Amino acid sequence: MSEREFVNKNFKHIINIDFRTKLLMTMFLSLTVLSGKVQYRYPIFLFAISVVPYLLLLDIREYGKCIKGLVLTSAAWAVSEFLPKNTDSFLQGILYMAAAIVIRMLPGIMAGYYTFISTSMSDMTESLRRMHMPDAFIIPVSVMFRFFYSIREDYKNINEAMKMHGLTFIKNITDPARILEYKLVPLLVCSMRTADDVAVCAMTRGMVPGSKRSSISNARLKVLDYIIMFLFAGIFIYFVIFN
Amino acid sequence: MLELKGISLSYEKVCILSGINAEFKHGEVNVITGNSGCGKSSLIKLINGIVPYIDKAEVSGDIILEGISLQDKNIVDRSRHISSVFQNPKTQFYALDTTDEMAFALENRGVFKEEIFNKIMFYSGLLGTRNLMGRNIFRLSGGEKQMIAITAVSCMEQQVYLFDEPSSSLDIKAMENLKEAILKLKELDKIIIIAEHRLSYLRDIIDNLFIIKDGNMVKFESGGINDDICAEYGLRMLKKVKKEELSKESTSVADLFANESKNISAGYDKNLCNDTDVLYCRDFKYRYGDHEVFNFDIYFKKGVHFIIGSNGVGKTSFIRCLCGLSRGFKGKIYYGRHRVRRPPDIISLVMQDVNYQLFTESVWDEISIVSDDDVKKESILKDFGLSDKKDLHPQSLSGGEKQRLAIALCAASKKPVVILDEPTSGLCRNSMYKTADFINAMRDDGKTVIVISHDYEFIKYCRGNIVEFKGREIKAL
Amino acid sequence: MLNKSRFSVKDLVNAGMFSALIIGVFWCCGMIGFIPVLMPFVPFLGAFCSAPVFMLYTSRIDKPGMIGILGCLFMLVFSLSGHGLFVIPVVIVLSIISEIILYTGKYKSIIHARLAYTVFMASSAGPLVPIYISRESYRQYLIASNYGADFADKMLAVMPMWSFFPIVLAGCLGAYLGTGLGVKCLNKHFKKAGMI
């Protein structure tokens, strides 16, 4: 039986790039897009590069996020290009700014999302290890993503319990600090308990921070990785620095 | 062989265990049991090192494994010989992915990649979890999570396997799988120690039963274990209560797809929604993913109703829809002649994990969320045995007390419908009886109590109607 | 065991968990920033809501480096989600200062913890810096396209350049107030429940 059997079915992609490549790509992409120069001199190119994260999301089958993102991006671009620029309206100024924010930040957010959702924890840990990051950084990073999932689940359950008890925002609108308390306190309690349990579990499985560990991951920089890294670095250098 | 010599344990001067001696041999299933708070979990924690390295306690005595004392070894050192499976499936995972989880312990030891894959393949095949490989742990059911945990610790190939109430949130089928896994470990000649309340699923495989009472431990070997001992020590029944034993007169079967075939002979008169005492659920239709879960009508009269059914048939989905927690759900609910548009107005819910439902800083404040009547609150707290804990923080109570508090809130509230989701998972016999008493008290108070449970012993003890949900056969994933 | 880290498993798991919570709360508050009028309030709100979580975190810290880890994760999440790299140097400096503050308080002083977070949250405006930077180049663009400096200024009246420092201060203020609330909450709930 081949080891490919065990690869998470969620991670079977066409584009298989290393975590380090994704990090660099996200960084260069977001820097390029954030720079105002590119939007004003090469708008078409910017649009093209903004769409890249969505293509990647398609590859990992995150259709929902992909569609929402594309719709939002297109709306922002439409506002940016076609809204009349010669009126005094405050509202239009607001709208224009909102569109600008979406255009500048959304590609970076989506690329970052892709980076973390499309990488399994063992690949991420192995890539970070090869970058010579210490355990004191690697362990919290991998645990942080695990906790994003469990916090989200806990938060949902707590909101439902609040609803059943009638502790809604509307009924307590005079005292918003109470609502924050109702939401945060059970969340903190549950999260702290989870953290303690996970730490105990890790210890009973022999984890010692700082000791040498092996990995089932195959993280390796291949030709495709280098191509992508140089491509995005090149884009950044050319469009942002030299222009 | 694992030996305990003269083990004594105290938490802040309160003595839990005194002078315990025991021997655990290879290839035997040892079960430790006793009432809540007797110290069985503490004993497990003592062996794997959580006590005293994480939970501070005063410990004396020695633990000897194959002639070597474990006294001065910390948790990580002990983990070279001992594996542990804990109670809560949700929080005993380090990784997000099942394969990563199984490889975790071996990666920590620096084992080579090919070797790790070999071991994973072997143990997942042995324990029947091959089909769970490569999946997101958060999307698995409780039983599946627990099986992944067992497979992960099996890959470590240790000598000692400790289980701390592993069946706590599991349903019947999952408990069967758990039992099979334990049997396989027994065949591999391991030392197995399980702390448990529910003995019925282990009945066929127990070799030694240790009962802790008043700080001492008594041993019974497999030949001498029977229900009389359980009765004497106040334990849960050993004998499995079968579905067929539940009262036939009060059992009815609810066909979850009755509305599809427009089966009017299902007997639900739509005029019942005009009856004062009836909770009527009409046109309850629910899809999950690409298959329909149910499409039916159902009603509940005043009294106690138990919903039973196989795992995954849709009991929890039904309850969620009934409570209005399911988005886009269009079923209609009627109570007391009126259409109910906001189910939380008439329904109190106790979830499986009570920790999500504790919001305030004292027991009294907590019960004040649902009621303003001080006299009533006092009397309810007294009935539930929480009067002297009025000013304590809800999170400082024990698990059983939290459960009681959650049910007390339902009793104190004016809402006529109470729903309990698996209220007896993890409870010892006395707590289980008390829960049944609370439910009966609420029924006498005129409430409609709906309970989801797979604990037949509990259902048999408590009087009530039983509704069995029968859906379509869902193909195994 | 060679090269053993001076952090225990418990420390690192707690660091990861609390960072997830603090960053999560901050991010959710940041969502309101998509409405431009509300953007100046993001640092204040984010610092305020995440402060109680931070206070709880400090109750579990007993050695230097834990804030540093939080800072690193903060940098990681915000620079990789399109907020630019400006957060990085800012957070590094502020983390070091926060660590020093906590160290002098011997990890038991509440006032030191509050100060530490106040300083740390001066970085809460970091994610907003790109908006200011691009604002400048947009202004240049408008002028270059013959719209006139006057018009450009009117358009950008929502967030003038001088508003940056008040926003940073607002972030610090939010952190200070929030930690005060956090201490109250800690005493009311966690100390009472015996979880600290």
Distance from CA of B361 to the nearest CA of C (A): 6
The answer, yes or no, to whether residue A83 has pLDDT greater than 80, is no
Question: What is the DSSP-derived secondary structure letter of residue C144?
Answer: H
Q: How many CA atoms lie within 13 A of B263 on its CB side?
A: 14
Q: Are residues B164 and B259 in the same domain?
A: no
**Residue among C143, C19, C12 at smallest CA distance from C78:** C19
Among A41, A90, A116, A143, the strongest candidate for a mutation testing the C interface, having the largest count of C CBs within 10 A, is: A143
Q: What's residue C190's pLDDT?
A: 87
Asked, for residue B141, whether it belongs to a domain, the answer is yes
Q: If you measure CA to CA, which chain A residue comes closest to C5?
A: A210
Q: Give me chain C's average pLDDT, please.
A: 83
A120, A157, A164 member nearest B323 (Cβ): A164
Question: What is the DSSP-derived secondary structure letter of residue B82?
Answer: E
Q: What is the residue range of B32's domain? A: 2-240
C9, C33, C82 member nearest A199 (Cβ): C9
From first to last of its 477 residues, what are the pLDDT tens digits of chain B? Answer: 999 999 999 988 888 888 899 999 999 999 999 888 888 889 999 998 998 888 888 899 999 999 899 888 889 899 999 999 998 888 999 998 899 999 999 999 989 999 999 999 999 999 989 888 888 899 888 889 999 999 999 999 999 999 999 988 788 888 899 999 999 999 999 999 999 988 888 888 999 999 998 888 888 888 877 888 888 887 887 777 777 777 777 778 887 777 766 544 444 566 666 667 788 888 888 888 778 888 888 888 888 999 988 877 888 889 999 999 988 888 888 887 788 888 999 999 999 889 999 998 899 999 998 888 899 999 999 999 888 888 889 988 888 889 999 999 999 999 999 999 999 887 888 889 999 999 999 999 989 999 999 888 888 888 888 888 887 755 444
Domains held by chain C: number: 1
Q: What's residue C2's pLDDT?
A: 45
Measured distance CA(B35)–CA(B427) in Å, rounded: 9
Asked, for residue B400, whether it belongs to a domain, the answer is no
| DSSP per residue, C100-124 | HHHHHTTTT-HHHHHHHHHHHGGGG
Counting beta carbons within 10 angstroms of the beta carbon of residue B17, is it exposed (0 to 12), middle (13 to 18) or buried (19 or more)? buried
β-sheet bridge partners, residue B335? B279, B338
Asked, for residue C156, whether it belongs to a domain, the answer is no
CB contact under 8 A, C189 and B361: yes
A1, A121, A200 member nearest B50 (Cβ): A200
Q: Are residues B288 and B172 in the same domain?
A: no
Distance from CA of C43 to the nearest CA of A (A): 16
Among C80, C177, C188, C195, the strongest candidate for a mutation testing the A interface, having the largest count of A CBs within 10 A, is: C80
β-sheet bridge partners, residue B450? B305, B419
Measured distance CA(C46)–CA(C24) in Å, rounded: 10
Bond preceding residue A140 cis, omega within 30 of 0: no
**Residue among B137, B165, B128 at smallest CA distance from B32:** B165
Measured distance CA(C158)–CA(C136) in Å, rounded: 13
| pLDDT bucket at A9, cuts 50 / 70 / 90 | low
Among B345, B346, B359, B405, the strongest candidate for a mutation testing the A interface, having the largest count of A CBs within 10 A, is: B359
CB atoms within 10 A of CB B398: 10
| Pairing relationship of beta strands B2-11 and B58-65 according to DSSP bridges | antiparallel
CB contact under 8 A, C194 and B393: yes
Question: What is the DSSP-derived secondary structure letter of residue B426?
Answer: T
Out of B206, B240, B274, a domain closes at B240
Residues 4-23, chain C: which have Cβ within 8 Å of A? 4-5, 7-10, 12-21, 23
Please report, for residues B22, B37, B123, the alpha-carbon distance to residue B8 in angstroms, rounded to integers and kept in the order given. Answer: 12, 15, 36
CB contact under 8 A, A207 and B108: yes
A143, A153, A190 member nearest B355 (Cβ): A190
Please report, for residues B88, B395, C69, C91, the alpha-carbon distance to residue C72 in angstroms, rounded to integers and kept in the order given. Answer: 31, 32, 5, 8
CB contact under 8 A, A149 and B96: yes
Domains held by chain B: number: 2
Out of B240, B270, B296, a domain closes at B240
Out of B192, B222, B240, a domain closes at B240
Q: Is B77 left (phi over 0), alpha (psi -120 to 50) or beta?
A: alpha
Q: Are residues B178 and B321 in the same domain?
A: no
CB contact under 8 A, A188 and C56: yes
Q: What's residue C152's pLDDT?
A: 61
A161-175, A192-206, B241-255: which has the minimum mean pLDDT?
A: B241-255
**Residue among B196, A109, B440, B100 at smallest CA distance from C79:** A109
CB contact under 8 A, A166 and B82: no
The helix/strand/coil state of A21 is helix
Contacts of C19 (CB under 8 A, 6+ apart): A140, A144, C69, C70, C73, C74
**Subunits that touch chain B (at least 3 Cβ pairs < 8 angstroms)?**
A, C
Q: Are residues B270 and B164 in the same domain?
A: no
The answer, yes or no, to whether residue C31 has pLDDT greater than 90, is no
Instruction: Kindly list the domain boundaries of chain A, sorted by start residue.
Output: 3-123+218-241, 135-204
Q: What's residue A87's pLDDT?
A: 60
Q: What's residue C140's pLDDT?
A: 67
Query: CB contact, 8 Å: C28 with chain A?
Result: no
Chain B positions touching chain C (beta carbons under 8 Å): 54, 361-362, 392-396
The mean pLDDT of C167-183, rounded to a whole number, is: 90
Q: What share of chain A is helix, strand, coil (3-state, %, to 5)?
A: 75, 0, 25
Contacts of A102 in chain C (CB under 8 A): 34
A190, A202, A216 member nearest B94 (Cβ): A202
Among B73, B80, B361, the strongest candidate for a mutation testing the C interface, having the largest count of C CBs within 10 A, is: B361
Asked, for residue C62, whether it belongs to a domain, the answer is yes
Q: Are residues B103 and B159 in the same domain?
A: yes
Contacts of A115 in chain C (CB under 8 A): 80
β-sheet bridge partners, residue B24? B2
* Angle (deg, nearest 10), helices B142-154 and B113-127: 130
CB contact under 8 A, A191 and C158: no
Contacts of C193 in chain B (CB under 8 A): 393-396
Q: The dihedral of CA A27, C38, A94, C134: what is its sign?
A: negative
Asked, for residue C88, whether it belongs to a domain, the answer is yes
Q: What is the residue range of C67's domain? A: 11-31+40-125+165-193
Structure tokens at A196: 């303690």
Query: CB contact, 8 Å: C194 with chain B?
Result: yes
Q: Are residues B183 and B254 in the same domain?
A: no
Distance from CA of B144 to the nearest CA of C (A): 24
Q: What's residue B171's pLDDT?
A: 83
Measured distance CA(B354)–CA(B402) in Å, rounded: 7
Q: If you measure CA to CA, which chain C residue comes closest to B395?
A: C193
Contact assessment for residue C171 and residue C179, using Cβ atoms and an 8 Å cutoff: no
Query: CB contact, 8 Å: A194 with chain C?
Result: yes
Measured distance CA(B248)–CA(B126) in Å, rounded: 40
Contacts of A86 in chain C (CB under 8 A): 147, 151
Contacts of A42 in chain C (CB under 8 A): none
Query: Strands, E, within B251-302: which ranges?
Result: 251-255, 279-288, 291-300
CB contact under 8 A, A216 and B355: no
The helix/strand/coil state of B465 is strand
Measured distance CA(A87)–CA(A165) in Å, rounded: 50
Tell me the per-residue pLDDT of C65-114, one tens digit each, with 9 for 90 and over. Answer: 899 999 999 998 888 887 777 788 889 999 999 999 989 988 888 899 89
Q: If you measure CA to CA, which chain A residue comes closest to B371?
A: A165
Tell me the per-residue pLDDT of C107-150, one tens digit each, with 9 for 90 and over. Answer: 888 899 899 999 999 888 887 777 777 666 666 666 665 555 66
**Residue among A237, A4, A217, A21 at smallest CA distance from B107:** A217
Q: What's residue B409's pLDDT?
A: 92
Distance from CA of A30 to the nearest CA of C (A): 5
Measured distance CA(B394)–CA(B402) in Å, rounded: 7
The helix/strand/coil state of B346 is coil
* Chain centre to alpha carbon of residue B31: 18
Residues 29-48, chain A: which have Cβ within 8 Å of C? 30-31, 33-37, 40
Contact assessment for residue A107 and residue A49, using Cβ atoms and an 8 Å cutoff: yes
CB contact under 8 A, C194 and B361: no
CB contact under 8 A, B395 and C195: yes
Q: If you measure CA to CA, which chain C residue comes closest to B398?
A: C193
The answer, yes or no, to whether residue C154 has pLDDT greater than 70, is no
- Report the CATH number at residue B85: 3.40.50.300
Q: Are residues B65 and B159 in the same domain?
A: yes
Q: If you measure CA to CA, which chain C residue comes closest to B359?
A: C189
Contact assessment for residue C68 and residue C94, using Cβ atoms and an 8 Å cutoff: no
Contact assessment for residue B379 and residue B330, using Cβ atoms and an 8 Å cutoff: no
ipTM > 0.85? yes
Q: If you measure CA to CA, which chain A residue comes closest to B367?
A: A165
Measured distance CA(B339)–CA(B336) in Å, rounded: 8
Among C134, C147, C159, C188, the strongest candidate for a mutation testing the A interface, having the largest count of A CBs within 10 A, is: C134
A74-88, B30-44, C10-24: which has the minimum mean pLDDT?
A: A74-88
The helix/strand/coil state of B365 is helix
C10, C188, C194 member nearest B396 (Cβ): C194
Q: What's residue C138's pLDDT?
A: 65
CB contact under 8 A, B395 and C188: no
Q: Are residues B92 and B235 in the same domain?
A: yes
Contact assessment for residue B412 and residue B216, using Cβ atoms and an 8 Å cutoff: no
